[in-house]
Amino acid sequence: MCGCALRPRRRAEPGLQSRRSGRGSGAVPRSGRGAGPASGAARSGPNQTAGRSRAMGRLVALSLLGIGLALLGERFLALRSRLKASREVESVDLPNCRLIKGIETGAEDIDILPNGLAFFSVGLKFPGLHSFAPDKPGGILMMDLKEEKPRALELRVSWGFDLASFNPHGISTFIDDDDTVYLFVVNHPEFKNTVEIFKFQEEENSLLHLKTIKHELLPRYVYVADILAHEIHVLEKQPNMNLTQLKVLQLGTLVDNLSIDPSSGDIWVGCHPNGQKLFVYDPNHPPSSEVLRIQNILSEKPSVTTVYINNGSVLQGSSVATIYDRKLLVGTLYQRALYCEL
């Protein structure tokens, strides 16, 4: 035990206690200086409001971004569906076929005269499409299907026509009353759109350029290919030149050029099984080819037959199929052309 006396505590004076507690704890500043709770909250109010506004702005921006990405994703998936981007094919070959020598850069369209002369538009260049010869102008080739071993010959074009910018696309022939043959060629010089009229000079294997026009020659029935909808629309021309839609035929593939067999009325269709491979060219996974034959299209139940299909190992990007006397020609957008005897 220490033996110390206990001293009673002295009661602090009220004023002294207040001053000491004020100095020690800092709870209540004497002069209002410093950052007491009330004054601090009052000064930070505008900053908090601005912060909430910025957060709300970011939230709205993120929401709009999410909506935009969702819409883009939906459109992308819809486009892939229209392009048949996931479709793969198994080849359906014909027994007597060979690639046509001299056609290396595509034969986008083909038309055949009643006497067996076939005309090819070759060398098409178009934005978004692959080209094996981007610097070479296009041309018109001819093949006589009555020959035992037909071969393609390039037709000379008359002097004065701009061959350097010749970029032929679609092609159609017209025979006048005096048996003069005219070629109507859709042309894209410098990616513009024109229609060129040529006179075919058979003796010289040449084309005489007559003029550049925009003109339409329509038969009674008009067949329109809707490539991304995978449809063929059948229209009928009325006496007042209006068109009436008769029917729509769904085909389940990307339809390109249509050719009518004058002897039977059958429609031969050059098709693209997978549109994505067509526009995004990959030599390891080339675009495939497909040829359909449609019989009795005006009937209630037309017959649709797959005549030829190839996964790209032989023919890439078929765009047209046309027939003469059981001889089938298949052209492509930018590769070869096929000759088959049926």
Q: Which of 169, 188, 209, 230 is catalytic?
A: 169
CB 178 within 8 A of CB 164: no
Residue 177 is labelled as binding a ligand: no
SS (H, E, C) 176-229: CCCCCEEEEEEECHHHCCEEEEEEEEHHHCEEEEEEEECCCCCCCEEEEEECCC
- Give the whole-angstrom CA distance, residue 183 versus residue 119: 9
**DSSP label at 299?**
S
Count of beta carbons in the 10 Å neighbourhood of residue 62: 10
119 in Cβ contact with 141 (< 8 Å): yes
Q: Is 197 annotated as a binding residue?
A: no
Judge whether 176 is annotated as a binding position: no
169 tagged catalytic: yes
Number of other residues whose CB lies within 10 A of the CB of residue 181: 18
**167 marked among binding-site residues:** no
Whether 104 has a binding-site annotation, put simply, is no
DSSP 297: T
Cite the active site residues.
169
Binding-site residues for Ca(2+) sit at 108-109, 171, 256-257
Binding-site residues sit at 108-109, 171, 256-257
